[in-house]
């Protein structure tokens, strides 16, 4: 969702979305993500200033952070791809929960981590990784950036083993 109204998102709906994230699949059940909720218009404005990928004007946002120091305490490298996978499962679960609540949502990964950390006064051990924008969908949406038709699973899926040497994918 790239266009949202200024109508506030009720706190109970935000809490339901956070609850969904808390139950998202997570490696080892370690729960190394920390969720920072922003629903203050002034803070959201500043967050947008340091987030060029935030095309929306959300009524709320959740910044998904990794508690890097805790990950290291568990014996994981601070750069472990598993940590980002857990961020992704939390984000996807939040996006689905927002949709179920008839809210618009959209992920943002284009932002200055240092600036977001400063704006939100995050502990040094937390690394902001993804922002989930939340709000009520505007009646009109901008045109998509990518393909002008909605892709189906058939466009994205291949059955069986692929031939790496072929110029085309067999069976597609």
CATH number of the domain enclosing 120: 3.40.109.10
- Phi, psi of 54, deg, nearest 5: -85, 85
- Helix (H) or strand (E) holding 62, with range, is strand 60-67
Distance CA 153, CA 3 (A): 26
**Do the strands 60-67 and 33-38 form a parallel or antiparallel pair, or are they unpaired?**
antiparallel
Asked whether residue 158 is assigned to any structural domain, the reply reads no
Place of tokens 């709320």: 60
* Residue 170 within any structural domain of the chain: no
What pLDDT is stored for residue 147 in this prediction?
65
Name 46's Cβ contacts closer than 8 Å, sequence gap at least 6: 119
Is the residue at 99 inside a domain?
Answer: yes
Say if 164 falls within a structural domain. Answer: no
List the domain range (segments joined by +) for residue 88. 11-141
Query: What are the pLDDT tens digits along the chain (172 aa)?
Result: 778 989 999 999 999 999 999 999 998 888 999 999 999 999 999 999 999 999 889 999 999 999 999 999 999 998 899 999 999 999 999 999 999 999 999 999 999 999 999 999 999 999 999 999 999 988 886 776 666 778 889 888 888 888 777 665 554 4
* Model pLDDT, residue 151: 82
Q: Is residue 23 part of a domain?
A: yes
pLDDT at position 172, please? Answer: 46
Cα–Cα dist 61/75, whole Å? 31
Q: How many domains does the chain have?
A: 1
The answer to whether residue 116 sits within a structural domain is: yes
Helical residues (DSSP H) of 33-152, grouped into ranges: 41-49, 68-73, 81-100, 113-120
Decide if 88 is inside a domain. Answer: yes
For the beta sheet containing 33-38, the strands, ordered from the edge strand earlier in sequence to the opposite edge, are: 33-38, 60-67, 126-135, 104-108
Residue 146: the pLDDT is 67
73 lies in a domain?
A: yes
Contact of 127 with 66, CB cutoff 8 Å: yes
């Amino acid at each position: 969702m790239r266009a949202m109204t200024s109508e506030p998102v009720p706190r109970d709906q935000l809490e339901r979305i956070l609850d969904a994230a808390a139950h998202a699949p997570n490696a080892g059940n370690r729960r190394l993500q920390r969720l920072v909720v922003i629903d203050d218009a002034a803070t959201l404005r500043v967050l947008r200033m340091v987030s060029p990928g935030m095309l929306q004007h959300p009524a709320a946002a959740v910044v998904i952070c990794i508690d890097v120091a805790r990950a290291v305490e568990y014996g994981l490298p601070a750069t472990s791809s598993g940590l980002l996978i857990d961020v992704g499962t939390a984000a996807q679960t939040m996006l689905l929960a927002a949709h179920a609540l008839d809210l618009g949502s959209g992920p943002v990964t284009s932002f200055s981590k240092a600036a977001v950390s400063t704006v939100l006064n995050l502990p040094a051990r937390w690394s902001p990784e993804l922002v989930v924008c939340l709000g009520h969908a505007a009646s009109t949406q901008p045109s998509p950036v990518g393909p002008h038709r909605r892709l189906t699973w058939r466009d994205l899926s291949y059955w069986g083993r692929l031939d790496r040497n072929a110029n085309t994918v067999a069976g597609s």
